[in-house]
Chain A
Amino acid sequence: MSVKLRVNGVEHDLDVEDEAPLLWVIRDEIGLTGTKFGCGIAQCGACTVHVNGVAQRSCVTPVGSVQDADITTIEGLSAKGLTPVQQAWIDHQVPQCGYCQSGMLMAISALLAKNAHPTDDDLAEAITNICRCGTYPRIRAAVRELAKVKG
């Protein structure tokens, strides 16, 4: 039972079952706890990471299915300092409790990588992550500004 995983550019050789959820492997085997557990059934998006640059919900992703992939977590996103998205989150004072924001930032970053000028409708369609504190108005304002700056 050996799984090879590449997380934030670092190779890990792990003694876990193929079907172990990526979320818990990242958190408890590798020790990166920025990625959060919210629902366990891909509903809330707190566990969102990038798999080859695409946002994916790690709580339902078996590690065996992403062995050859490049996986990025929130820790990897800010490895070289804050990204413009993270800075916009500070400028707009987005987080409240902050628990969903790792997943939210990963989902938004993946969206912006694909579509540098998302409209409100693009945002509504692409981002289904749940924030219980209700930071959506600020997320929308931050993304509007990022969409403009990126022009």
Chain B
Amino acid sequence: MPTRRTVLLGVGGTAGALVVGYALWPNGRIAAANRIDGSDTDKFVTNWIKVSNDDTITVVIPHCEMGTGTFTSLSQMAADELDSDWDKIRAEQAPPEVVFANGAMIEGFALDGKTVPPFLTGVAANTFRFMAANVPIPGVGYVPQITGGSAAIRFTGMNAIRVAAAAAREMLVKAAAARWNVSVDECSTKSNRVIHTASGKSFGYGELTAEAANYDPSSRPRLKDKSNYTYVGKPVQRFDIPRKVNGTTNYGLDVKQPGMLYAAIKISPVFGGKLKSVDESAIKGQRGIKHVVKLDDAVVVVADRFWRARDAADALSPVFDPGANGKVTSASISARRKAALNGGDIKSDVKSGSGADALKTGKLVEATYEVPYLAHSPMEPMNATAIYKDGELEVWSGTQDGLGSRDFCAKAAKLAIEKVKFHLMPMGGGFGRRLPGQWNYLTYAVQTAMAVPNVPVKLIFTREQDTQHDFYRPNVMSRFRAALDDNGMPLAWVNDYTTDDDPNPQAHIVYDIPNQAIGASKVPTHVPTGAWRSVEASWHGFFVESFVDELAQAAGKDPLEYRRALLSKAPRHLATLNLAAEKAGWGRPLEAGRARGIAMVESFQSIVVHVVEITIDEKGAVKVDRVVSAVDCGMVVNPDGFKAQIEGAILFGLSAALKGEITFENGAVVQSNFTDYEMLRIADCPQIEIHLREDDGPVGGAGEPGVPPVAPAVANAIFAATGVRIRELPIKNHTLKV
């Protein structure tokens, strides 16, 4: 799968051609949004912002809430720009309709931190909204309401929600000023009311909605200064939590429809294989079995209850043709990656100074690293409910893009999008698994519904199917060579790595090294891959931060001091590194048997440093005792929510670093459930301390950036404890002795 960023950048290159009179939510679109919304009491003033006749603001959010607190944080941003009371603000998921396509996400990915010149802001916003709704990403499809890339705050919040909220406030003020026949400068806003300062007269927002919506929204409204925020920067309690402690949140798995049937599936164990035959006599006469549906690469059993469908599917022995990949193993994939690196077919991505030629100018240090395939394994297995009736399709499922899913289901059913209803359900974890390009569960559910029309069918992957039919974090190999000067400082940095994709900027380094050559060799395999929480940073972070540690070791220097010396041109990174080191007590003696490791990775515009303390027991098992983390994300909207994301990312990263691997035999995934694809439990949970830094840097993401520095920090601590350098993950495969 192409990376999100590179693909979107590619699309961005054609943006100029699309700037053709596409207006920013003119009245027609407001009317369309109101029509879809259907509320008698709530009306849109600008995109994303509805005002109720009781003055309540509803923030209509073009994302899903999968537990990262997005809905609450975006509402904090809107509440501040609109001077709303907190008990008068609500969040609602945007419907999967084209009018609610999220241009700000496309803009964020395409510009990648660069800004649009002021005179182009309105045009650019229109262009990106148009692209979100109308331009498919090659190989992926439409991603108009995508939740990913740790981007809800930094893109949607910064470029869409707060702008729409500030514009709505200006329009409400204009409407009030017109009624009083005074200048807008004489008016202020507070607690969901517009106030005429001199007379003390006021209107509630709800009284002004209709008139306000008639004004053209400014694409560049005056935004509040950070110092005037009431909610942004405060640890506000999340909207979604009360319903998650009493079992009333209805996830995709919990969908109930009248007369609903249940489906279990057996998919070809080898990706790309085909169903040859299935002997149905094995389940003949079993209670509740309604249909056996044969698909191209799978067999589906439809029954009146899920456990009956599952047991029947287990009793079938479908025969699959594995195709060309039936002999692939982890070792054979790994050997191809190694051959690619040795073969020198490297696509250059970075060359500075004299590149690899500078290797001969100093002492050579070399190392090669490898990370395994990983499954996402969210707690809620993949599932979708669908009914096909009278030429129309209706689907319920948890995905990381509602409108994109609707379009995808329409294509899978060969129907016009108007004939498809999609209900985006809360989801029990995403981590990238439910992103566009990875919707095999939607495909199977739609195909099953088409084969068994007129009745809703809920298709659920068992944990085994979920583990073996994921879109995996790829296996990647990376080779480094560096030359050190007489002081042990690097003169040259040469890095070649394999990729299932194109070269990725996440391999670029922040360290100040004069001669660099970084490139990638593409090694396609039959294994489907996809974005796994922190994507490319999850592997390049491990590679780069391990190798920097090796350079410090070769130079005989302290790993923290070594990094500091290479960060003279990166003050934010240096400050974050120093904060983590100070809070962790770097250099202070540790109790016997404990060791420390440090790593720093910037991803999604947030800089994260972890200092990890470990002990190794007499059996050689690694215990992570403490993680001290420093994060620079520019601006924090909800500090408690942000910390929760970093805590979760640390544990996600630890499960992977210590235990995670998906391997292949006979072309198929070996692991099947939590017995052999293991997760940390509360007994393994370290003490975690998180320190947030804010500065004038760009607003960074929260969900993913905590993951990448985990593995290298642990590996570096293991080296400090044992002298063993971990160059392949997971750590459980290494024999360690203190």
Contacts and interface: CB of A to CB of B under 8 A. Distances in A.
Interface of A: 17, 20-21, 24, 27-29, 31-41, 43-44, 46, 73-75, 77-78, 82, 86, 89-90, 93-102, 105, 123-125, 127-140
B181 interface: no
A86 B245 contact: yes
Interface in B444-478: 460, 462-464
Contacts of A20: 305, 307
Contact of A38 (B68, B69, B379, B675): B379
B550 interface: no
Contacts of B245: 78, 82, 86, 89-90, 94-95, 98, 101, 105
Contacts of B327: none
B69 to A, nearest CB: 8
B241 A99 contact: no
Contact of A134 (B69, B641, B647): B647
Interface in B232-258: 237-238, 240-251, 253-254, 256
B38 to A, nearest CB: 27
B644 A93 contact: yes
A124 B683 contact: yes
A118 to B, nearest CB: 11
A97 B378 contact: yes
Nearest to B304: A28
B229 interface: no
B640 A36 contact: no
A28 B261 CA distance: 10
Contacts of A138: 644, 647
Contacts of B246: 34, 74-75, 77-78, 82, 86
Nearest to A101: B244
Contacts of B463: 38-41
A123 B254 contact: no
A86 B247 CA distance: 11
B307 A21 contact: yes
A98 B249 CA distance: 8
Contact of B682 (A41, A86, A95, A127): A127
B674 A130 contact: yes
Contacts of A95: 67, 240-241, 244-245
Interface string B644-686: 1001111110000000000000000000011100011111010
B380 A73 contact: no
Contacts of A37: 253, 381, 460
Nearest to A103: B379
B378 A33 contact: no
B547 interface: no
Most buried by B among A17, A125, A127: A17
A124 B683 CA distance: 4
B709 interface: no
Given A33-B253, A132-B679, A73 B379 contact: no
A134 B653 CA distance: 10
Contacts, number: 176
A137 B643 CA distance: 11
A34 B247 contact: yes
Nearest to B649: A134
B674 A97 contact: no
B688 interface: yes
Contacts of B640: 93
B681 A128 contact: yes
A39 B673 contact: yes
Most buried by A among B237, B244, B245, B680: B245
B272 interface: no
Given A100-B428, A136-B681, 4 more contacts: A37-B381, A75-B246, A99-B429, A136-B651
Contacts of A124: 681-683
Contacts of A74: 246-247
A14 to B, nearest CB: 11
Contacts of A123: 682
Contacts of B675: 41, 43
Nearest to A74: B247
B25 interface: no
Contacts of A135: 644, 647-648
B431 interface: yes
A50 B687 CA distance: 30
Nearest to A136: B685
Contact of A97 (B250, B253, B380, B683): B380
A39 B674 contact: yes
Nearest to B464: A40
A10 to B, nearest CB: 16
B553 to A, nearest CB: 31
Given A24-B307, A74-B246, A95-B241, A132 B377 contact: yes
Contacts of A89: 241, 245
A36 B253 contact: yes
Nearest to A46: B379
B648 A96 contact: yes
Contacts of B287: 17
Interface residues of B, number: 62
B306 interface: yes
A17 B274 CA distance: 34
Contacts of B507: none
Contacts of B243: 98
B688 A93 contact: no
A27 B674 CA distance: 22
B245 to A, nearest CB: 4
B527 interface: no
Contact of B68 (A27, A46, A96): A96
Interface in B549-600: none
B212 interface: no
B305 A132 contact: no
Contact of B652 (A78, A101, A132): A132
Interface in B410-442: 426-431
B248 to A, nearest CB: 7
Contact of A93 (B241, B379, B674, B683): B241
Interface string B519-561: 0000000000000000000000000000000000000000000
B369 interface: no
Contacts of A75: 246-247
A33 B252 CA distance: 11
A139 B688 CA distance: 13
A87 to B, nearest CB: 8
A141 to B, nearest CB: 10
B66 interface: yes
12 contacts: A20-B307, A24-B307, A39-B674, A40-B673, A41-B674, A44-B379, A96-B648, A97-B67, A98-B241, A128-B683, A134-B647, A136-B651
B379 A99 contact: yes
A107 B171 CA distance: 52
Given A39-B673, A130-B674, A97 B428 contact: yes
A35 B248 CA distance: 10
A17 B287 CA distance: 10
Contacts of A139: 682
B247 A73 contact: yes
A139 B460 CA distance: 29
B306 A132 contact: no
B378 A93 contact: no
A131 B589 CA distance: 34
Given A21-B307, A130-B681, A43 B674 contact: yes
A117 B379 CA distance: 29
A22 to B, nearest CB: 10
| Closest 3 pairs (CB-CB, A-B) | A34-B247, A99-B428, A134-B651
A34 B248 contact: yes
A95 B254 CA distance: 18
A75 B253 CA distance: 17
B238 A43 contact: no
A127 to B, nearest CB: 5
A26 B396 CA distance: 21
Nearest to A23: B307
A133 B247 contact: no
